[in-house]
Structure 1
Amino acid sequence: MSLQDIVVYLEDIPEGASRLEYAAALAARFHSHLSAVFVADALELHRYSGFAVGTGIAHMLAHHSEQVRAAAARYRTLFEAALLQEELHGEWRISDRVWGEDLMIHARHADLAIVGPADGPSRRKTALSLSEDMIFASGRPTLLVPAAWRSERLADHIVIAWNASAEASRAVAGALPLLYSAKQVSVVVVPQAGLPVPDGIDPGRAIVRHLACHGVTADLFLLEGTDAGQVVVDFCTERDADLLVMGAYGHSKLSEAIFGGATRYVLRHAEIPILLAR
């Protein structure tokens, strides 16, 4: 059981290099093919841009294009060095589109897409962060990696936020290679948050049994609380988890949730990588 093909989306931001290092280390663990997509930041005109007229506009566009070329070249050098260091096969790509099918198509030809963290109160918005909802619509699992997350922390302890939803089921299916290679797997269920299952079915024990059929040993934790998002984040922090697996909806910047309002809370407060699917 393995991840054969991983794609990492990169931007010209300080934490871009650490995201690439994490993706390369993960690809090395599974001997995966690694593709890198450099997402070129579009030229954003500010309120003073109206003063650029005539040749000023041409100079402004030329300067922006040169910045994009220089950044792409810098990241390509880092990418090729990572392939060499980890002894990987890979492919370099550039995308000047941060929305829609042009962006999603790269993820649809991979087992896993790696991006940066979601928008949060203390997190700077970037061109790619505004596209996360589109990547979630790719039909592939998406892994959000926090800024400066250390590449040596490669999902040895994985937490599954389980509510028996179709989205959570897809997330677990997409995470199976990671779960299989993990040293510890914890399944967290928050019964008070409400689980859409009929009487007579224990969703926590059922998913633990399902994982066992795939050779994954998991511990089940039934936790109290009505705010499932906070319960899950607190559990991950207390247990020093390396990765959180959960289902999510992809509408309105993930404003909908797995356990009531849990997705929004988790994306805003979790400080570990999160693997999502919808």
Structure 2
Amino acid sequence: MKDILAHADNYSSWTPGMEYAAGLAAAFSGHLTGVHVVASPYMMVSPYDAPQLLSRIVEELRQVKEEACARRSAFEAQARALGARSALWEVAEGDVPDVLARIGNWHDVLVLGRDEKSNWGSAQALGNLVLRSHLPCIVTPPTCSTARAQCVALGWNHSPEAIRAIHAALPILAAAGRIVVLSGKPREQPLTVGWKPEFDLGTYLRGHGLHVEDRELDASDADAGAALLEAASECRADLLVMGAYGRARFSEWIFGGATRHVLAQARIPLFLRH
């Protein structure tokens, strides 16, 4: 895990999430890229409807872009001071999820900070980024700025999303002192024609030289998110790894779901993969 990407919703100061990203880069002797995305004026107003308003918005966004670009030296120096092997500050224009998906093509993980006061820091907005960035994502709570993973909890429900999350988190698991598998009920799979190989998590982790503790969770789908967070807290976990949006996101947000709950309520960082 050498290439860490972090979204900077705020370019004027360092956030706890950005400090966490720098610490993660330091832990793996890796590179940190911070990216701030300026909205495209053409996404805000049509040039045919209000050309004068568009002209004013273009000028305002140009100033914002110049201010954001001017933070490059300070950001890169601070990232190195926090232990990152190297750092780069990027400023882009466009739709935030699309920009992160683009730059994510050459990064290993995306760090996002939860902050209800920022444009992209609400639980719902973060869920959008987790889905559309096509990257493993670490979502940090507002009060966490230290990248620790002495104890890692794995949310396990036999789903493809959970498998992908655990696979992506292997570098972190290899450095952990303790790994606890929180096993819930297997998610019901739709009827299909054919047969697919079974995945045995214990065999997979042992194959990577990892020794784990097992803990069963007895919770309904509606209570799975709360049960995961409670169990992770009891284990004193520093990080919770889990699959994101195992069912349609519309269903998650309308009817509730584990991903929705943990994104809104977690007090420890989340390692998520859709």
- Which residues of 2 match residues 74-153 of structure 1 at below 5 A? 74=71, 77-86=74-83, 88-117=85-114, 123-127=116-120, 130=125, 132-151=127-146, 153=147
| Native 8 Å contact 1:255 1:264 kept in 2 | no
For structure 2, list consecutive stretches of 5 or more residues without a partner in the other structure: 191-196
Counterpart AA for 1:95? A
Partner of 1:244: 240
Q: Aligned equivalents of 1:254 and 1:4: distance in 2?
A: 34
Structure 1 residue 186 displacement after superposition: 0.8
Structure 1 residue 137 displacement after superposition: 3.3
Q: Aligned equivalents of 2:34 and 2:16: distance in 1?
A: 13
CA deviations 1:102-143 (Å, max 9, x no partner) are 3311112111111123x8xxx235147636524533432111
TM-score (norm 2): 0.78
Counterpart AA for 2:16? S
Q: Aligned equivalents of 1:36 and 1:14: distance in 2?
A: 12
Q: Aligned equivalents of 2:101 and 2:44: distance in 1?
A: 26
Structure 1 residue 176 displacement after superposition: 0.3
- Which residues of 2 match residues 257-276 of structure 1 at below 5 A? 261-276=257-272
CA RMSD between the two structures: 3.5
Compared CA separation, residues 269 and 31, structure 1 to 2 (3 A): same
Compared CA separation, residues 127 and 233, structure 1 to 2 (3 A): closer
Q: Aligned equivalents of 2:204 and 2:227: distance in 1?
A: 24
SS at match of 1:186: strand
The correspondence for 1:158, drawn from 135, 152, 177, is 152
Partner of 2:228: 232
After the TM superposition, which of the residue ranges 160-169 and 15-24 deviates more from structure 2?
A: 15-24
Identity rate, percent: 29
Structure 1 residue 75 displacement after superposition: 6.3
Counterpart AA for 2:264? R
Compared CA separation, residues 87 and 263, structure 1 to 2 (3 A): closer
After the TM superposition, which of the residue ranges 135-144 and 175-184 deviates more from structure 2?
A: 135-144
Partner of 1:170: 164
Counterpart AA for 2:204? H
Partner of 1:210: 204
The correspondence for 1:17, drawn from 15, 19, 25, is 15
Structure 1 residue 83 displacement after superposition: 1.9
